[in-house]
Structure 1
Amino acid sequence: MSIISSLNKDFESRVRLGIMSVLVVNDWVDFTEMKLLLEVTDGNLASHTSGLEKLNYIEVKKEFVGKKPKTSYRVTNSGRLAFAEHLNFLEKLLKL
């Protein structure tokens, strides 16, 4: 198996790479903060976070603060492991 084929296709998108990068160094990050950090649209962020949630890489928490809905995200253990493996393969690729 080649190193390039070992890269995780789930993290090929720059948005997903950004989401995971933010979440591995933070506990919970809310939708608005993530959107501002990554400079993406609501729909783009919602689409990618939904995909990562389906893969069990992130956890999504929906709650109300006062009368306003608030959505927050955090990385799961399996997401942290999968992302670390992806980064390790990227590092190996850079050393070739």
Structure 2
Amino acid sequence: MNVKPLGIVRKIDELGRIVIPKEVRRQQGWTTGTPVEMLGSEDGVFIRPYSIGDQDAVIRALEAKKSFVEDVRVKKALDLAINTFK
């Protein structure tokens, strides 16, 4: 793994959160709602986008449709479908 310092330092807030700078998110193509996972090693903690494989595209499509649906029953059905893929 080739790791280089970015020269960016952030403090952990009182709730344990760290803000990922906009420049880093933009460079990585991460938008609001992008799932990320943390990996630990002897050298520290690393963050990368989380993927569950081919099902990612299906989940994103269902979530996008859900945002346009107003019928509560349809939203619940979409939620159920999304959760079966997770």
How does the TM-score come out when normalised to structure 2?
A: 0.28
Greater RCO structure (CA 8 Å; 6+ sep): 1
Higher helix share: 1
Structure number with larger C-alpha Rg: 2
Is the strand fraction higher in 1 or 2?
1
